[in-house]
Structure 1
Amino acid sequence: MTTPPETDAVRGTLEVGVTGGMVRGVERRGLRHWRGIPFAAPPVGALRFRAPRPVVPWSGMREAAQFGPVSMQSRNGNFIGVSRTTPMSEDCLTINVIRAASGASALPVMVFVHGGAYSVGSSAEHPRNGETLVREGDVVYVSFNYRLGALGYLDFTRFSTPERPLESNLGLRDQVQALEWVRDNIAAFGGDPSNVTLFGESAGGNAVTTLMATPAAHGLFARAIAQSPPPNAIYLPEMTSVWAGEYIEILTEAIDTDGVESTSDDIAGQVLADADAGELVEAAVTLTLRTPDAHPGTIVLSPVIDGDFLPERPLDAFKEGRAAAVPLIIGTNDREGSLFTGRLDILATTPKRIRAIFASTKKKARKAIKAEYPGLPEKRPAADFGGDYAFWYPTVKVAERHARYQPVHFYRFDIAPRLVRLAGFDATHGLELFAVFDRMNGWFGRTMTALGGRRAFLAAGKRMRAHWLAFARDGSVDEAAWPRYDERRRLTLVIDQADRVEADPRGSRRRAWQAFVPHV
């Protein structure tokens, strides 16, 4: 979306020295903002499909009043992209900071990783994100861009050569680079680099659980919050190599390659280097639309277990205690899958996709899981099946495994305004962002509550932010209101009109999934 003009900006002595040079922010509504600060070299030219490099220094004062260009993405793909007026560029690796205008120092830091299926979104998508957290909790809020789509989340290493090296997990590497920037620079903004809480939603939640299993990220954050992650959307090179081949075929069919065979691995690196960034984006959209039926149950734009930067499945790292030794808040929404309809539907929700997933399980396990979704594969139970397969059940596995080693608090977000329920979405994927970021005063937030439920939703959001902020401040959680999660009691905070704690909610469904997907 386009950032609205902010005419009440006050330019003062908001000059800060960071890696690369000096930046000057602005003060707005009692908060200090710095936007569009480079945290890595532009990943363009010879650095396309390469790990991020150090910031290129600049001379003089760099104005940091506006967001930087967003990562390259489709404006009309299967997911909602940015508006037609939002600047996009491969040169997108920038970071933003918000803090209160007070002179306090050593403040807690909250670093947010935006979602968008690793194909769309940006740190500027909702320009006022983080402001309420800063006002209510006196924290330093950080957001950043990272490479998306084919430029960040397809694994082209099968086409790498000594002359034209291609590296893996580029978006993930960008995230680590951003966290290193926070470690090295946040004290200059009044933040405490030893007190960083990493949080994210959807793909950003996947980023959190993946970063917890990424050795290079260990020590860069003190605690983590994963909202609605698909933690198992991480794939072996055998799968990502297939997708890379399919992508090259799509790309070479769409552009002029001077008659070179599209199946030739020898020219793939050259094609990737020469293609226009927009062509790379559109080929990724085509691949994303094909994959749910070609490879049911998978999400094509995802990290790869490359054995190096990401050495193992995050779920295995959590199981063996090799994940980052930090406390974790994690959870999902009541009906994650109800949002994924039409072109958004990348989940295992159609009869064909469900059959493909059932084909690899035993009859007894299939029968047990079907009993948990009466009417499957009708639309509503299919949406719940697909959402649970991608989000809820693997999130439960992360929680129970990490709880063996570190404090874990598990939640389920149930509250939804009446209009959202009447539309059939209920507490769907992404709805909790309106609570965490206090977005209900925007036109969409007000529309959602046109038929009632506004007061209750606002109150739930305030309670949720209080939990998040207390956790970010010092790792504390009100154990009386929200006990720790463990494999025995599985105590879960259900966020609703009145919050409650339930022991092993949907326990019978959890046990059915345990038998259905024993490899998770």
Structure 2
Amino acid sequence: MSESSGSSGSPATDAVITTADGVVRGQRGAHLARWRGIPYAAAPVGDLRFRAPQPVRPWTGVREATEFGLASVQPRWGTQIGPRRAQPSGEDCLTLNVVAPAAPSSTPRPVMMFIHGGAYFIGTTALRLYSGSRLALRGDVIVVSINYRLGAFGYVDFGEFSTPERPFDSNLGLRDQVAALEWVRRNIAAFGGDPENVTVFGESAGAHAVLTLLATPAAAGLFHRGIAQSAPADWGVPREDARAFARGCVGNLGATPANAVTMLQQASTHDIRKAVERQMARDTHERPGAFAIAPEVDGDYLPKLPITAIIEGSAHPVPLIIGTNLDEARLFVRFDDTLPTTPERLRGVLSGSREAESRIAAAYPGYPAPKAAVRAGGDYMFLRPSLQVMEAHSRRAPTYAYRFDYAPRAVRLAGFGATHALDLLPVFGGVDSAFGRATTIAGGHKGFRAVQHEFQDNWLAFARTGKPLATWPEYSEEHRITRVIDYPPRLEVDPGKSKRLAWESVRVPVPE
């Protein structure tokens, strides 16, 4: 499939759409139509740096929408989209992309809006895997992908340094996501989409963003179901911690409280990013598994920690699919080991409790050997809080739980297993891509393709109806039925029960 035209050798033709802000021209091929780099908010530069997203200034004439917009500010390695290729990044990054079947439809199509992961620090929608083409074709849906502010410009609250003349806002990346949903509400009908049938889905930090939107009052009514793949579900930063982190960043920038406003306004993008990265490195070294770059409980835009809102029952009661991967942490220990994947680190996040560690050791045979410790560390970060979400959300809305177990032989031999982010390949239909074929070079292509169908058919059914396929029952505290996505797939009642009970007995208090 040609990434530029959406067809096999068919030339692309104009796809002109009138949005609420102006006319955009994308590309239409034989099978797909695409629009890229459409602004959903004003460029957050100049006086809008560190401010909530503002409306787009309407334009006249036809705006070309055939190239991806800038990625959010981040290290260059975070925007790698191919060998020796990186997506340009910058502060003017609030754009989105739309892909839709080229054929007309007699009824509005379901909409799936994807929020990429990357620890709220890296990521770009220009990654070929995220195009959404195969999902759009297989499910007759419209896929929207968004860039949003990350790291220094999206998740650091400099509000303590605000002045009446120059205020700074909190939760900028979260506000961007809501602004993108508002754009979808206003405009997606012009692309053939149904603004009353919007599913938000994301992986890793993107999955956490889905759960955060559940707890964000401003997002009410803007989406109708959610899918959270490998969510670090209890992430979130109390206001005082957020402000302390921001003070450290300002200090790294060489500013004082007296000149902080001027420095934050005038410092280069690079200098601000590096100042925040230095503070992040210090913070993660002192507290493995804790991330200060995350949505802040500011008492206003985000009144409560997302997991607290879900547990207390104040989150939006939309249907939810949520799950984790069997071997989440194996990716991190190979490339970015910031999780509590050693007994020493795990003991730290458990507040040094020997009793807690003994319960974990009993649930993970072989502990404290490295393999068992790595699995426990991954489950601490992803499974433990996701179980809390499954339980609590199922009391108020249809909830569907899964665990992803499958890994092709080459992936297992490489030591990864069903690791973090591997699920993105089958969800987006990447099993037959060059990278997907490389994962099955030692066998397992048939199984991985079957897993791809399992993911896509359930995700698409859910986007269309609010329910996955009939073979996947709802989760409840009474039965805990979970879909194990493997080859072949199966249903299990309370899989990994001993691990669930161990984590329940040592549940880590959520910060307020």
Do the structures match in fold with TM over 0.5? yes
The structure-2 alpha-carbon separation of the partners of 1:269 and 1:377, relative to structure 1 and needing over 3 Å to count, comes to farther
Amino acid at match of 1:116: G
1:255 corresponds in structure 2 to none
| 1:10 positional shift | 4.1
The CA distance in 1 between the partners of 2:294 and 2:130, in whole Å, is 28
Match of 2:64 in 1: 63
Partner of 1:168: 170
Query: Partner residue of 2:286?
Result: 294
Residues 278 and 409 (structure 1), Cα distance of their counterparts in 2 relative to 1, 3 Å cut: same
- Pick which of 100-109 and 374-383 moved more: 374-383
Alignment partners' CA distance in 2, 1:364 and 1:90: 48
More displaced, 24-33 or 141-150?
24-33
**Greater alpha carbon shift after TM alignment, 224-233 vs 334-343:** 334-343
Given the alignment, which residue of 189, 207, 214 partners 2:191? 189
| Equivalent position amino acid for 2:31 in 1 | G
- Please tell me whether the aligned partners of residues 19 and 187 of structure 2 are also in contact (alpha carbons under 8 angstroms): yes
Aligned to 2:23: 22
Could you state the TM-score of these two structures normalised by the residue count of structure 1? 0.93
* CA distance in 2: counterparts of 1:464 and 1:188, whole angstroms: 28
Out of 388, 395, 399, which is 2:390 matched to? Answer: 399
CA deviation vs aligned residue, 1:30-74 (integer Å, no higher than 9, x gap) = 101011111000000111100000001111000111111111110
1 CA distance for matches of 2:25 and 2:205?
A: 31
| 8 Å CA contact retained: 2:30, 2:102 | no
Mapped partners of 1:437, 1:288: distance in 2: 31
- Matching residue of 1:371: 362
Residue 53 of structure 2 contacts residue 179 of structure 2 at CA under 8 Å; is this kept in 1? yes
Distance 1:502 1:57 in 2: 52
| Aligned with 2:296 (options 304, 313, 329) | 304
Against the structure 1 CA distance between its residues 4 and 215, is the aligned structure 2 distance closer, same or farther, given a 3 Å change threshold? same
Match of 2:91 in 1: 90
How far, CA to CA, are the matches of 1:425 and 1:85 in structure 2? 25
Unmatched tracts of structure 2, length 5 or more: none
State whether residues 79 and 124 of structure 2, in contact with CA within 8 Å, keep that contact through their aligned partners in structure 1: no
Q: In the alignment, which of 491, 494, 501 is matched to residue 491 of structure 2?
A: 501
In the alignment, the residues of structure 2 paired with residue 518 and residue 151 of structure 1 have an alpha-carbon distance, to the nearest angstrom, of 29
Which residue is equivalent to 2:45?
44
CA distance in structure 2 between the partners assigned to 1:324 and 1:100 by the alignment: 30
SS in 1 for 2:163: coil
**How far apart in 2 are the matches of 1:173 and 1:287?**
23
Q: 1:161 to 1:468 in 2, by over 3 A?
A: same
Mapped pair 1:409 → 2:411: no
Q: Secondary structure at the match of 2:380?
A: helix
Q: How far did 1:325 drift?
A: 1.6
Q: 114, 128, 131: which is aligned to 1:129? A: 131
Contact 2:129 2:430 in 1 (8 A): no
Indicate whether 1:141 and 2:143 are aligned: yes
Residue number in structure 1 paired with 2:152: 150
By how many angstroms is 1:518 displaced? 5.2
Structure 1 match to 2:507: 517
| Cα distance between partner residues in 2 of 1:238 and 1:316 | 17
SS in 2 for 1:266: coil
> Deviation string for 1:233-278 (max 9, x for gaps)?
11101221222122223332xxxxxxxxx5x323223222222112
Partner-residue secondary structure (3-state), 2:23: strand
Partner Cα distance (2:152, 2:375) in 1: 29
What is the Cα-based RMSD across aligned positions, in Å? 1.9
Alpha-carbon deviations, 1:147-189, whole Å to 9, x = none? 0111001122222222221110000000000000000000000
* Residues 69-468 of structure 1 aligned to structure 2 (within 5 Å): 69-76=70-77, 81=80, 85-104=86-105, 105-126=107-128, 129-252=131-254, 262=255, 264-341=256-333, 344-359=336-351, 361=353, 363-468=354-459
TM-superposed CA distance for 1:489, in Å, is 1.2
CA contact (8 A) 2:71 2:147 kept: yes
Moved more, 187-196 or 8-17: 8-17
Q: Distance in 2 between matches of 1:5 and 1:27?
A: 9
SS at match of 1:245: helix
Distance apart, 1:213 and its partner CA: 0.5
Question: 1:103-146 CA deviation, whole Å, 9 max, x = no partner?
Answer: 21411111111111111111111266211111111001111110
Q: In the superposition, relative to structure 1, how do residues 306 and 355 fare at CA in structure 2: closer, same or farther (>3 Å)?
A: same
Q: Is the 8 A contact 2:80 2:87 kept in 1?
A: no
Using the alignment, how far apart are the partners of 1:303 and 1:60 within structure 2? 38
State the distance in 2 between where 1:50 and 1:337 align: 35
Amino acid corresponding to residue 491 of structure 1 in structure 2: I
| 1:370 positional shift | 2.2
Question: Secondary structure at the residue paired with 1:25?
Answer: strand
1:377, distance to aligned residue in structure 2 (A): 4.4
- Cα 1:433–1:29 change in 2 (3 A) is farther
Residues 50 and 484 of structure 1, relative CA distance in 2, 3 Å threshold:
same
Determine the C-alpha separation between the residues in 1 that align with 2:233 and 2:265. 31
Match of 1:473 among 437, 458, 464: 464
Q: Which residue of 1 aligns with 2:32?
A: 31
Distance in 2 of aligned mates of 1:127 and 1:20: 29
The 8 Å contact of residues 33 and 100 in structure 2, kept in 1 or not, is answered as yes
> Which 10-residue stretch deviates more, 272-281 or 223-232?
272-281
**Distance (Å, rounded) in 2 between the aligned partners of 1:383 and 1:171:** 30
State the 1:372 CA deviation. 2.1
Moved more, 203-212 or 319-328: 319-328
Q: How far apart in 1 are the matches of 2:343 and 2:374? A: 11
Report sequence identity in percent. Answer: 48
Separation in 2, partners of 1:398, 1:325: 12
> What SS does the aligned partner of 1:336 have?
coil
Give the gaps of 5 or more residues in structure 1: 253-261
Quick one: distance in 2 between partners of 1:28 and 1:281?
Answer: 39
Match of 1:257 in 2: none
Distance between the aligned counterparts of 1:94 and 1:318, measured in 2? 30
Normalised TM-score (structure 2) = 0.94
2:128 match: secondary structure: coil
Q: What is the alpha-carbon distance in structure 2 between the residues aligned to residue 113 and residue 321 of structure 1?
A: 24
SS of 1:341's equivalent? helix
> Which deviations, in whole Å up to 9, do the C-alpha atoms of 1:192-237 show, x marking residues without a partner?
1001111010110000000010010010011111111111111101
83-92 or 142-151, which deviates more: 83-92
CA contact (8 A) 2:76 2:86 kept: no
Supply the AA of the counterpart residue of 1:457: F
- Distance apart, 1:359 and its partner CA: 2.6
Q: Partners in 1 of 2:468 and 2:435 — Cα distance?
A: 31
Which residue matches 1:256?
none
